[in-house]
Structure 1
Amino acid sequence: MRTTFPFILFYKLKMFLLFFGIIFLMHACETKTTKKIQKKKYSAEIEKFIAKADTFYDHNKIDSSLLYFNKALALSNPDVNYVQYVYVLSSIADILTIDSDYATSEELLTRTLPYLSKIKEPIYARNVYSFMAYNYHNTYDFENALLYHKKALKLPATSFKKAVILKDIATVFMDQKKYKTAIEILKPLTSEKIVFKKWPQFGKQFHADVLVNLGYCYFKLKQSIAINYYRESLKINLKVNNKYSLYHIYRLFSEFYQESNPKLALIYAKKSYEQAYLVKSARNRVNSLAQLIRTSEGNALKKYSHDYIKIIDSITEGRRRAKNQFSNMKYLSKKDKEENLQLKTDKIENELELEREKNRNFILYVIIAFSLTSLLFLFYYLVSKGRREKIDAVYKSETQIARKLHTELSYDIYETLSFAKKNELSHDNKEKFLSHLNNIYSKTRNISRENSEILTDENFEKVLKEMISGYSSSKLNIIVNGLSTFSWSKIDRVKKITVFRVVQEIFNQVKNRNSSLASITFKIDQGEIIITYADNSSEIHNQNNLNERFANIENRLKLIKGTFNVSLNQNQGFKVLIKFPI
């Protein structure tokens, strides 16, 4: 009767909590319906705008891309569509970085930070960190640039993406004029094994960029080997027809030959300008014109200087217009968003819904109060049950020890007392009598050790060694190997207790055998601890009998996912092999 009532009570409580748990979940689902509807309604439309924006971006139509990204941003609710919200903001920030509006770009990227922890895919956080690093790099804040590049590098990614980040880090070191540090990063990246499986051509372009950066580092260190890296990079860029990189490599060739061969330097400067003109990049044209100015003379110098000033003025005016356009888009986006939210609020809120919400909250409070009371009762019941089980376990342990003392010591004590009564304790009889007493002491000590607490702190190795040594005698020599070859402090407490008990049981099984030599070896191999025991007993064994005798050890090892194998030695004795993961 004592155990049946709590079981029935516990079962009823479980069913009751399950019932009210279902009601609570239904309520929670109902309160989230509005957000789910909103998400389904707007996600598809946002994706359409994002797809168009990405297409325009891929075709280098930056203004159109920015327009559609802003349309997607107007519909994005960061509390509902936070993945799309982060992607859109980081994409706009990327465009602004390209257009050198680093301050606005950083402001947009900062708005994404609270939502990064909600997104499982690491690509979004990696993009945000990389774009922030680019902004800091372009504004000469090299320490923060390295900080955010390293944040991006810590996130999970393919080998190609990690290689790209490492190249970006090397670029920061190059701008810090730490060319040797940059070389140490870039050299391992020259391997052509780093490929981009989705678009193999990108892998080739990346390889060419690494080579040209490596060449530039050697050029700055005044080492002629730089030209070899330039030529190899040019060869790859011509093969894949990468116009953006060709402008840069031709400019570097011009710088390389500027002092040693001015005519060749001028030829490469013109080639660089031609490539910059083809890709319609005002910033690249400015850089190419700067190199042309350095390598030209006379009327050509005047012409290139005039073109340089004209393009600089055009870029300044373009940036001002783009900034005004973005500010206007941001204002309209915010206004449209507020109007949409107001309309949705007017439709959702009414008196009936408020009344229903009030009733649901009242029921919810009652459920929470009842659930807490039930859980409190359940807690005290389980604590009480645990105490009773502990008392029962102590009683069983005491009974087992008493039974073992009676079984193993009663005959020895009786025999010792009889010997003392029948014989005078002369010299020879005294030695025999002391031998009997020593035997009783050894058995008592072993029983005590088997049921005593096991130390699992830094003294575990010492305690384990002492326990093994306790089985050594004048008749049995025990060799222990490898016990100190690894740190036991790193092993789990439960596993140390299991090792202690398993080794103890092995020696308990063999203490009454006629072995004269036993060895036990400890070692770690491939993440596993391996314990090997062997002796030279001449006693004849049966394999099945051995398995039965060591069944308790096998059961202990199952708790720590270990394996146990016992086998007869070829000549005499037997061998035990134990393995379990660290």
Structure 2
Amino acid sequence: MEYKKVPSPNHIFFLFIWILLLPFYSIAQISNDTIRYYHNAITNPSVPLDLPSGIQFFTKKKQIDLKTNDTLSAIYDLRLLSIAEFKIGNNFNSENHIVEALDLIQSMTSGDTLINAKVGLYNQLGRIYRASDNFSEAIKTYDKALAIAHKLNDSVVILNNKANIYKDLTEFNNALGIYTLLNDKHSQLNNDNQKSLIIDNLGYIQSKLNLPEAFENLQSALALREKNSDLIGLHASNTHLSEYYLDKKDTTNAIIYAEKALSLSNKINSNSFKLESISKLMDMNKNPLIHEYRKLTDSIAKAKQVAENKNAFLKYNVAEEQKKTQASKLLQEIESRKRLAYQSLAFVIFLILIGSYFIYRNRYRKAKIEEIYKTETRIAKKVHDEVANDVYKLMASLENNSNIDNKLIDEMEKIYTKTRDISRENSAIDLNQDFGIQLNDLLLGYKNGNVNVITRNLSKIPWNTIHELNKTAIYRVLQELMTNMRKHSQATFVTLVFKKVGSKIHINYRDNGVGCDLSKKNGLQHTESRIASLKGTIIFESKQGDGFKVSIII
């Protein structure tokens, strides 16, 4: 009889648990493998889709890490995102990722312990600024990294990057100082690639400064790289030696090393290295058309890079063609909105500038008018206090002298009267009092037995709403008109009609005097300039024997 083995309850329980945990275990394994895969896609991309797919993955991972408060992982995600964005030319996005990572470190209570993370972020930020030609910020950022770096290898990388900035700026002496310092320390390094990098860069800078040690260092770096089969380093060494011979006018050797660099770029399978090597060979060609072509293509490439920098991410197939089209449309819409916003901002700024111009011009004009009025008042006071008073004192002393001709005293009295009238006509106006009453007193002051002065609606004008400059101008102009009437017109009747229309004051003056020839104006040009300075108008109407009319709008 055959018996079948039946599983015990314990076995069934463990089997059930294993079945339940297996998916989670598999997911964890897949997750780790996926992270490693996309990390390599960013640090060592091999196909065009690697970088955009890596960006997509770590963007989602960062969001998950932030939700689960896994700040350290989020910092790691952001650094990889920055590297990926930098490699595809999105310097702006790359910089934003670095700043976000630094903010996360700052927010952590253990932030001061994350030195290595900070050093790496600062170094990446310096690379971004260098690629954006923002050399001063790049140097500042590298200095921040150096201030906290404790590892020799980190310091070497950062100092080398800083020296590259000085090399870009053709500040070869500054670069030489750093490379010399690094060369003194290279014996402490265990990394042959770093040693050869330092020696090669030192030799390159020395060659630019025409120092005799240059060739020996360039050759030493080349030998070390050949020993370690460092293809990328060999490409750099051959490029530098080609340039060394080119500077020495030794075109033959320069071409030999440039061709070696081109051959290495083919082995490395790097288009950028190929382009650099071909460019060196083209520099050695004496055909002027080639140099003109180089200049034009470099100019176009630079302009294209600037124009397409924001859209560099679209060069890669991040998702399906449909999503790519939608992203392109969205980007166009954003750009269109930006253009509209910039145009609107420019228009608003233009309006502000125009408005400011007229406001300041109006203030300047008013200030000049006020200065004129103050000057008139000051002169009137000096005429009264100094000239008129001195004349009066002299008259008083002469009256007691019996030998002085009375005609002389009469002439001096006339001079005194004129100076007193000038002072009175230009004396200060107290605009804090009721202006309507002051103006009425002024006009009625010209009324006497021979001249009758009538005003209409003067008291109906809301003078308290009129600007002080306008009130001063009205007072002075009417004073000049009335004085001119008393001196020249022989009028017996004067009427002044006041009316407010909108924000303007209308004043119509009329007398029944002998009139005048308007081509001469009888000294009334001053009234025109007063009204014109306040953007008002004044119109004279008169002819001999038919009185005098004036229309004022201010």
Q: TM-score by structure 1 length?
A: 0.43
Q: TM-score by structure 2 length?
A: 0.45
